[in-house]
Structure 1
Amino acid sequence: MKTQEKKRILITGAAGFLGSHLCDRFIAESYHVIGMDNLITGDLRHIAHLFKLPNFEFYQHDVSKFVHIQGRLDYILHFASPASPIDYLRIPIQTLKVGSLGTHNLLGLAKSKGARILVASTSEVYGDPLISPQSEEYWGNVNPVGPRGVYDEAKRFQEAMTMAYHNIHGLETRIVRIFNTYGPRMRLNDGRALPTFIGQALRGEDLTVFGDGTQTRSFCYVSDQVEGIYRLLLSDYVLPVNIGNPDEMTVEEVAKEIIELTGRHSAIVYRDLPIDDPKQRRPDIQKANKLLQWTPQVSRKEGLLRTIAYFESLPASALKQKDFTYYNQE
């Protein structure tokens, strides 16, 4: 009896936070995983444990340039993109290129291979929302020429290009709108609220909150996010789907909870709110509930304890690394 060949999947942004966890998941599901990353924000240490496996291969490559994969390809997950404010404010042109040129290249690859492609969009397509919670039917409130526009508009273009390939070429496409996700392998100095707060608390520093701290966020633990993405890829639904945790809290509440869970005695200091910072972020996940039978399983406290334990396990030198251009409300 002939052994069934493993499904082959290309994961771009494979050395990043979410990309590396997706590599782990698809390896666990017995796929042959092809990882790709230009390492502009990714870290090979996230996937080093996979290099010895026969069903994993890695290519250092910028998907904004032509992408070639030898052999059959069943699926593509396009997760290559800077995703934190510090990154996309530092490299705005690269952010725009990976969302536009990179998406175009990968859609073309999917078309040539007859592969299904899932693209990673973001809650940032909603901008500074005028409604809450944000459902997939909400068109957003985005400033295209503001400092965050390079990320917001790259993702909005990515969605439009993906739907065009689906409508014109009949390509099998999926779009996930990712809300704030956290967990092990995040960078302490990437500018987002949770890792920034955890790093500051573990170093015994004051926690920096921008604005008055009443702006809200909703945090989804990484294993829940990966499960939602996995189910969406294998579903039959082609329009965008929110994957996030609707458990909403203020940024000030986040800071206080981090201080409590780390057992530190840090104070909270307040700074001016950056331009176009969203005042509210909460996903409507009714579609994910109905179409994917998906709901978050990991409580915020449990997820935070796991994340704090991960950062505490890092070498002292890693904990000391910090970036003073904090923009921690993403």
Structure 2
Amino acid sequence: MRILITGVAGFLGSHLADALLADGNSVVGVDNLATGSLNNLKHLDNEVRFEFRELDICEAFDPGRVDYVFNFASPASPVDYSKLGVETLAVGSSGTRNALEVAKKYRAKFLHASTSECYGDPSVHPQTEDYWGNVNPIGPRSVYDEAKRFSEALTMAYHRYYHVDTRLVRIFNTYGPRLQKNDGRVISNFVVQALKGEDLTVYGEGDQTRSFCYVADEIEGILGLSRSDEHLPVNVGNPNEWTILDCAKTVLKVTGSKSKIVYRPLPQDDPMQRKPDISKAKRLFGWEPKIDLETGLQLSLEYFQTTIDEEAKVK
């Protein structure tokens, strides 16, 4: 197949490109590099089946005939979407619509990367796909949460009204090589702080929970959904629930760091619980994650250490 990936220079987009190329497909990837990095694609410089185009999908575009569209374009980290709030809303609305128009024009299948943030600070635990969420529509996180909720509605509208063959994946916290080291998410924050010998910053008491999925597992789940006939949202994440404090302690164990844990006030609208119910993914395409947090952290350390070392050379 000839496959379009929007947001291809991002963390997940670049790993997705690798997986689709490994399956024998050709990939045209687009990205405006607002948050993505060409370093994530450097290993594909000599891959003749990969084509990169720098463009903003908020403007109408046409990549030529494609068989599948994977829409992964969006700032995804708190650091990025707090700076690029309007741009985040735009890519969730205009950008998603333009990607859907490509799928509609070429009768291509379409998979949209949504998020567990659609559930907000959930009152249902663990979160199942039929839970509608508890989201502050005007809070500081709303530019991301509501962009993703709107893009889900838009994707379903194109499916219902234009018969586009769509899929929706709700991605839970994912980590691994190529994750931005300064993106404000838990794993990257803790690992970088630990490797630098800095204090690990825990917000609140550290009793809020998250579920962390290693990137190879996440991509496998996304591809499983892409091959299914399911049009309604599907959770893809690791159902093993960790408190933030236990996560910090595990990072210290894996890195061997002597860093201390310090506590800071809890940010506004920070969800207290996050755990996916993945029974739907298990039932539909037999997926569940295989890599535990400690193993995933060990697989990620070389990347983070290399990134830190390269930054130090520049300074």
Give the TM-score band, short-chain normalised. Answer: over 0.9
Note if 1:211 corresponds to 2:195. no
Distance 1:183 1:316 in 2: 17
Distance 2:40 2:125 in 1: 35
Deviating beyond 3 angstroms after TM superposition, the runs of 4 or more aligned structure 1 residues are none
The alpha carbon displacement at 1:318 in A equals: 2.5
Deviation by residue 1:305-330 (Cα, 9 ceiling, x = unmatched) = 01112212335243699xxxxxxxxx
What letter matches 1:285 in structure 2? I
Which of the numbers 264, 269, 273 marks the counterpart of 2:257?
264
What is the aligned partner in structure 1 of residue 60 from structure 2? 66
Note if 1:27 corresponds to 2:21. yes
- How is 1:115-264 mapped onto 2 (pairs within 5 angstroms)? 115-264=108-257
For 1:19, what is the secondary structure of its paired residue?
helix
Note if 1:290 corresponds to 2:283. yes
Deviation by residue 1:216-244 (Cα, 9 ceiling, x = unmatched) = 00000000000011111111110000000
Aligned length: 315
Distance 2:299 2:307 in 1: 13
Identity in percent: 55
What letter matches 2:112 in structure 1? V
What is the aligned partner in structure 2 of residue 308 from structure 1? 301
Note if 1:42 corresponds to 2:39. no
Change (3 A) 1:148 1:305: same
Distance 2:123 2:62 in 1: 42
CA contact (8 A) 1:51 1:57 kept: no
For 2:82, what is the secondary structure of its paired residue?
helix
Deviation by residue 1:95-149 (Cα, 9 ceiling, x = unmatched) = 0000000011111111001100100000000000001100000000000000000
Which of the numbers 251, 267, 274 marks the counterpart of 1:281?
274
Deviation by residue 1:230-274 (Cα, 9 ceiling, x = unmatched) = 111111110000000000010011111111111111111111101
What letter matches 1:249 in structure 2? W
Q: CA RMSD in A?
A: 1.3
CA contact (8 A) 1:188 1:319 kept: no
What letter matches 1:211 in structure 2? G
Q: Which residues of structure 1 form unaligned runs of 5+? A: 1-6, 322-330
Distance 1:118 1:18 in 2: 13
What letter matches 1:80 in structure 2? A
What letter matches 2:12 in structure 1? L
TM-score by length of 1: 0.94
The alpha carbon displacement at 1:80 in A equals: 0.3
Note if 1:10 corresponds to 2:21. no
Distance 2:21 2:231 in 1: 25
Distance 2:18 2:204 in 1: 37
The alpha carbon displacement at 1:299 in A equals: 1.6
TM-score by length of 2: 0.98
What letter matches 1:179 in structure 2? F
The alpha carbon displacement at 1:51 in A equals: 2.2
Distance 2:163 2:232 in 1: 14
CA contact (8 A) 1:203 1:320 kept: no
Distance 1:148 1:288 in 2: 27
CA contact (8 A) 1:199 1:319 kept: no
What letter matches 1:259 in structure 2? L
Distance 1:259 1:53 in 2: 38
Q: Which residues of structure 2 form unaligned runs of 5+? A: none
Distance 2:272 2:136 in 1: 14
